Amino acid sequence: MLKNILATIGLAVVAKAAYEHYCEYRELKRAKEEREDGAT
């Protein structure tokens, strides 16, 4: 029972970190595209 609760909490933490990294990646990609569009 306790292992299942800890596993669920761990999964939530990993999913949240992955989502934050994805959002950061998407923002950096958007900024890069803006720089490239502005350079041409």
Task: Please state the pTM of the whole predicted model.
Answer: 0.74
pLDDT for res 3: 97
- Residue 40 pLDDT more than 70? no
Q: Which residue has the higher pLDDT, 38 or 29?
A: 29
C-alpha closest to that of 26 among 34, 15, 39? 34
For 5-25, the pLDDT digits (tens) are 999 999 999 999 999 999 999
Domain that holds residue 16: 1-40
Overall domain count for the chain: 1
Distance separating alpha carbons of residues 28 and 11, to the nearest angstrom: 26
pLDDT recorded at residue 5: 98
